[in-house]
Structure 1
């Protein structure tokens, strides 16, 4: 067995790779250069690979204590970019309701702004489990919608995952504010 230790910048490189993959995902999903079916599957593979980099970068950073300020900022931003771009594309394809995406995007901007206010006050707002569950369900929702498998049971599952993702989006917003209500005191 090898005791190979990854390079210290690997988590950040994976985060950057995730951001770089976004335009390729969008291109294949929307331009469909290989026809709808093949292009959807290429987009799906890109999205799944990008989602896996999210799991890998965090795991490596925590395991080897490679946590950086760049990673703290860019990892959640890369997640937001990936999922929000994907959902906006799905609206354009008629697979996801725009009002759901508006709620999700509004939550992401709100939490990002909230984190900036907290940072100005010297407080770091870490991701909580609700936020992690939210991201996981959003990614699963996107995977199911991009795959667009026309089997009744899969379509029902997709709808269930969509509603869970939306509920977790709202719950995570409320819990972030509740757990960090001290940040809201004395806002200028």
Structure 2
């Protein structure tokens, strides 16, 4: 028995490079927000800097995941902090653009209600099972990143149709995947209830 205990590797420490990248993404959120809102959003250099900061932060999302999987350092902290960091960053972008009057508040409200509602629901149904992030969620994040990035850049009015199409697509997929997660949660709860009844 003692030999078996010694052969079991200890869980990875939360103090690792992948989680450090996640924390860095959190720290970039206020920097991005300040650059976006600086001078009422009218400073071209600040808007470009905000776009670069936003892009680097979004790319770091892929980097920390790859690091964690490659090095076998996936932790509970990373599982929780990583998606929250993503939502904090995109949430700052949506709110900032609405403050500047460049994106309707109803769009921001709809997206944030979906994002944080699904996050809360994950915690509620975790006793029934884990709802993993599916391919749809990754597509949603990518579409949001592209749409928000285009809005953050100081593009001329001639690009407005491109911006509208990109944001419409991102919001549509956001709502569709949100509905899918709700159905997953209901299926998990039903399966757990059926299992309890059978037992």
Same fold (TM over 0.5): yes
How far apart in 2 are the matches of 1:159 and 1:73? Answer: 32
Q: Does the Cα contact within 8 Å between 2:51 and 2:153 map onto a contact in 1? A: yes
Note the C-alpha offset of 1:128: 1.0
Does the C-alpha gap of structure 1 residues 65 and 171 become closer, same or farther in structure 2, counting only changes over 3 Å? same
How far apart in 2 are the matches of 1:34 and 1:82? Answer: 17
Deviations 1:40-78 (A, max 9, x none): 111111111111111111122122222110110000000
Confirm or deny that 1:78 pairs with 2:85: yes
**2:150 maps to which residue?**
144
User: TM-score of the superposition, structure 2-length normalised?
Assistant: 0.83
Partner SS, residue 74 of structure 2 = coil
**1:14 maps to which residue?**
21
Does the C-alpha gap of structure 1 residues 92 and 70 become closer, same or farther in structure 2, counting only changes over 3 Å? same
**1:116 maps to which residue?**
123
For structure 1, which runs of at least 5 residues remain unmatched after alignment? 1-7
Does the C-alpha gap of structure 1 residues 131 and 53 become closer, same or farther in structure 2, counting only changes over 3 Å? same
Deviations 1:4-59 (A, max 9, x none): xxxx7111011000000011111111124996101111111111111111111112
2:175 pairs, out of 170, 174, 188, with 170
How far apart in 1 are the matches of 2:39 and 2:53? Answer: 14
2:133 pairs, out of 127, 130, 135, with 127
How far apart in 1 are the matches of 2:129 and 2:49? Answer: 41
Partner SS, residue 180 of structure 1 = helix
Partner SS, residue 95 of structure 1 = coil
For structure 2, which runs of at least 5 residues remain unmatched after alignment? 1-14, 194-199
Deviations 1:110-154 (A, max 9, x none): 1111111122x15222111111111111111111001031162x3
**1:42 maps to which residue?**
49
CA RMSD of aligned residues (A): 1.9
Q: Considering only CA atoms, is the larger Rg found in Structure 1 or Structure 2? A: 2
Note the C-alpha offset of 1:183: 3.8
**1:29 maps to which residue?**
36
How far apart in 1 are the matches of 2:151 and 2:82? Answer: 24
